[in-house]
Structure 1
Amino acid sequence: MTRSVLINQDDDRLLERAINRAKWRLLPFLILMFLLAYLDRVNIGFAKQAYQISTGLSDTAFAFGAGIFFITYALFEIPSNLMMHRLGPRVWLSRIMITWGIISAAMCFAHSTTSFYIIRMLLGVAEAGFFPGVIYFITQWFPAKSRGHIMSIFYFGSPLALIVGGPISGYLLDLHGLWGLEGWQLMFLIEGFAASVMGIWAFFYLRNTPSEAKWLPEDEKSVLMRLLAKEEREKARYGAEDFIQALKNPTLILFAAIYFLIQITGLGVAFYLPTQVGALLGMHVGLTVGLVSAIPWICALVAGAFWPKLAVKVDACKLFGIISLTAIALGLILSAGGSPLVAIIALCFVTMGIMTAQPIFWTWPTGMFGGAAAAGSFALINSCGALGGFVAPNIRNGAEKLFDSTSAGLYALAGAAIVAIILFIFLPTRKQLAAHAKGNKENINYAD
């Protein structure tokens, strides 16, 4: 008995060392990848003012072009992630980054509405599968007990993209005339090139699973892989390992609907935050607006450092997720009126909610699906999120035109957050998932 306890304690220590070693080795790299991905996705928001002045693009055309990226992204998401499952995350994530970087840089040649639409569509095809691919990669490396914390750290990429990328994009926009190019052309060219270089680096740096990592000691590797294999077997019992089987699970539809609504609010804010801050300050979008726009995302970074981890630690993910979504809804409503100071403070609560709601949400799908079901299900959920990215700028622009008020667009986004709160209540608890694991699938009330 004593010997067994000692062995378990030794295993726990080895596991902790393996997780920490993998965290410090992989997470900074994954965050940098996500930073560049997110920046290439939303830098159109920083270029909006200068790009429209230069090309004569209308607000309606801009909203449609900004959103159409997510249509092709959604259409190619599942095929891309199933291909990733076959070829491995290292090869496929590298391919995604290289091609999307090249296409993003090509935006510097988009001088017409047609070319703007085509490049945004191609960018969606190229980037499809990146985010769920990384989520799948994380499930191959990190066990469930640490996954909520790992996911919250990974999500640092999106606010960092807007904290660091905001001022950089603003600075590049201010370099109008360098090399005979306009500021928005320089921004797309340089940021796209950076993503392609990162993709080449990823091919040589990443490893698909712990078994392939030469930098991980054998004893730590063995303990980590045993736990991951055990979790995969458990997920197969109450979830699914086959994608077709996963599609029959009604909870997957609930996951997809919630993520769709979260992305409407998140991208509805990210696309228009620089323009909104510029309007509040009475300034054009440049370095100063980029710096002020970074403030809400700094607050989001602080919240993301502790809130999702605390949610998992106290086993109250549902409550914490609802609080995060409430912060989004109330923040959007409050940012629609009042002084610039009040509006910016309100936007800080919005970004904190966006930053924390997403990693908390992902603790459900990553704990329920394994194998090919994980690759396909994560892609399906993210595809619906991508459709939210298409809806976001169009619903915001449509509401503003319909009611002739910029506040109407913010209220529309707040409405999406409120519906997400309602759906969040119906997410299954750990107890209900355990009931699935025992084969007790009848009479489960997901509202408990």
Structure 2
Amino acid sequence: MELHTMRVVTRRLIPFLGLLYMVAYIDRSNVGFAKLTLQSDLGLSEAAFFMGAGMFFIAYAIFEVPSNLILERVGARRWFARIAISWGLITVLTSLTWNESSFYVLRFLLGAAEAGFYPGVIYYLTKWFPGQYRARIFGLFIFANPVSFALGNPLLGWLSSLHGNLGLSGWQWIFIVTGVPAVLLGIATLLYLPDTPDKAKWLTAEQKQWINKRLDEEEGPRHDHSNPLSPLKSPRVWFFVAHFLMLVVAAYGLSFWLPTIVSGFGVGDVAIGFLTSIPYVCAALALWLLPRSADRRGEHFWHMGIPLAVAGVAMAASLLVESPVLRLALMSVAAAGILGPQPIFWALSSTLFTGIRAAATIAAINSVGNLGGWLGPLAIGAIVDSTGRVSSGLWIIAGAALLGGVAVVGTRRLVHQRDTTPPVTAPGTPT
């Protein structure tokens, strides 16, 4: 009964949510490939380009907690559909960028539109899967991240090579072609995705009852009237924010700069697309193996810390070698070590709070942590502008990965301090 139920839920939810996430990630990271032609067309410096690219994350941080709270009220089906349709339309509109200011504005609007999708899915999945399954399930969902690079980078490289076709620049082709699928998937979400197990027509009454009973046994009642923002006062939450910040600095620093690094190998646009997909094939393998190993062994902390430390060392080593083959191999190790532990991180952080407070907690960790997607590339861009060497800025990625690995020690101490305080109910609220 248990295994069959979990398999049914996994088959029904994870492929569709993973496809949404894959398109979302292509739409937020396509700017790395657009950089190859957009920067010269608009005359942007490295720092100015990454300031614009980072406006996405500023908006994301501002709107993510409110987005998750709205999701809890209106349901995942309608809210995820709204998110996908709006981010797709804004991605297409980005092809009309004409100067630095418009680039900033459209990237900010894209972040506001997409805010809440990733943490919303993490929270949504906690309503379907008991704790013992979450690292693996989050791993399957986040698996879409490296797949988006492995499949998307060759596509983006090819689109960039269309520079001049039909009077459009390569970066315009990128934004137009990658924005349309999000709109179509948003419409499909309205027809396909159930809000809760109780609304899933493909589950039997017994399966729905088992899921609800199991989650209630683990977490207690999942509906309360406590202040949803109260977890933001907890030091535990902000420690996880700091930890995730390091992960994001490393991950986005790598994704934004990898096409530029590989272009220095002296290859064409299409070859850049295929070569930059190699590190993410390795990351996909890590996302498959690490969460399963962590759940099977019942040990999660060193499954986060050791890969991150190895990633930091590998990234640093890649900056000291001259061979393009060896450099790409070391960056592949770094990509695996940075992305592989992320589902384990979310499995641990999702145990801090339950109910609507979990929605706010997950969103806060992801929103503030995702500022690293702006700070990391921006800092790298500023260093590259001042030194004239791409390699000098990439030390930030190595340092962030190493710090993330070291932070596991603090995570180990804090994660067991699970919230046990009874929710504070509003006056007159039935208990």
Fold similarity call, TM over 0.5: yes
Asked if 1:358 corresponds to 2:345, the answer is no
1:394 counterpart = 2:381: no
**Residue in 2 that maps onto 1:53:** 40
User: Which residue number in structure 1 is paired with residue 208 of structure 2?
Assistant: 221
Counterpart CA distance in 2 for 1:166 and 1:432 is 40
Tell me, yes or no, if structure 1 residue 334 matches structure 2 residue 292.
Answer: no
Q: Could you tell me which amino acid in structure 1 is paired with residue 231 of structure 2?
A: A
Moved more, 31-40 or 384-393: 384-393
Partner in structure 1 of residue 229 of structure 2: 244
Match of 1:122 in 2: 109
- Residues 212-361 of structure 1: pairs in structure 2 closer than 5 A: 212-233=199-220, 242-279=227-264, 281-284=265-268, 286-338=269-321, 339-361=323-345
Distance 1:322 1:241, change over 3 A: farther
2:245 alignment partner AA: F
Conserved? CA contact 1:296–1:351, under 8 Å:
yes
> 5+ unaligned residues in a row in structure 1: which ranges?
1-13, 440-448
Distance 1:235 1:204, change over 3 A: closer
Q: How far apart, in 1, do the equivalents of 2:295 and 2:394 lie?
A: 31
1:27 correspondence with 2:11: no
Contact 2:222 2:354 in 1 (8 A): yes
Work out whether residues 236 and 415 of structure 2, in 8 Å CA contact, stay in contact via their aligned partners in 1: no
Q: Which residue identity is paired with 1:417?
A: A
Partner Cα separation in structure 2 for residue 53 and residue 256 of structure 1: 36
CA distance in 2, matches of 1:104, 1:236: 36
User: Identity of counterpart residues, as a percentage?
Assistant: 36
CA contact under 8 A between 2:91 and 2:176: conserved in structure 1?
Answer: yes
RMSD: 2.0
Query: For 1:121-179, what per-residue CA distance to the aligned partner results, in whole angstroms no more than 9, with x for missing partners?
Result: 11111111111101111111111111110001111111111111101111112223333
**Cα deviation code 1:54-76 (max 9, x no counterpart):** 22222221111111110111011
User: Which whole-Å CA distance do the structure 2 matches of 1:387 and 1:91 have between them?
Assistant: 27
C-alpha separation in 1, matches of 2:127 and 2:234: 22
Instruction: State the shift of 1:415 in Å.
Output: 1.4
The amino acid across from 1:219 in the alignment is: E
Task: Provide the TM-score with structure 1 as the length reference.
Answer: 0.90
Deviations 1:41-92 (A, max 9, x none): 1000011111122222222211111111101110111111111111111111
How many equivalent residue pairs? 421
For residue 141 of structure 1, the aligned residue among 116, 119, 128 is 128
Q: Secondary structure at the match of 1:161?
A: helix
- 2:118 corresponds to which residue? 131
- Conserved in 2, the CA contact under 8 Å of 1:235 and 1:369? no
Q: Per-residue deviation at 1:27?
A: 0.5
More helix by share: 1
1:405 aligns to what?
389
Match of 1:11 in 2: none
Which residue in 1 is equivalent to 2:427?
none
Distance 1:380 1:171 in 2: 37
Q: Distance in 1 between matches of 2:383 and 2:221?
A: 46
Contact 1:235 1:241 in 2 (8 A): no
How far the C-alpha of 1:395 sits from its partner, in A, is 1.2
Q: Deviations over 1:347-397 (max 9, x none)?
A: 111110122121111112212211111111111001112211110111111
Compared with structure 1, are the counterparts of its residues 355 and 335 closer, same or farther at alpha carbon in structure 2 (3 Å cutoff)? same
Amino acid in structure 2 at the alignment position of 1:118: V
Alignment deviations for residues 203-260 of structure 1 (CA, whole Å, 9 cap, x no partner): 11111111100011222222122112222318999xx964333123211111111011
TM-score normalised over the length of structure 2: 0.93
AA of the residue aligned to 1:334 = A
Runs of 4+ aligned structure 1 residues displaced above 4 Å come to 234-237, 436-439
Number of the residue aligned with 2:426: none
Q: Which residue pairs with 2:428 in the alignment?
A: none
Q: Structure 2 counterpart of 1:274, which letter? A: P
Contact 2:33/2:156 (8 A) holds in 1: yes
Deviation digits for residues 18-45 of structure 1 (CA, Å, limit 9, x no counterpart)? 1100101110101100001110010000
Return the letter of the residue paired with 1:318: F
Provide closer, same or farther for how the CA distance between residues 154 and 109 of structure 1 changes in structure 2, counting only shifts above 3 A. Answer: same
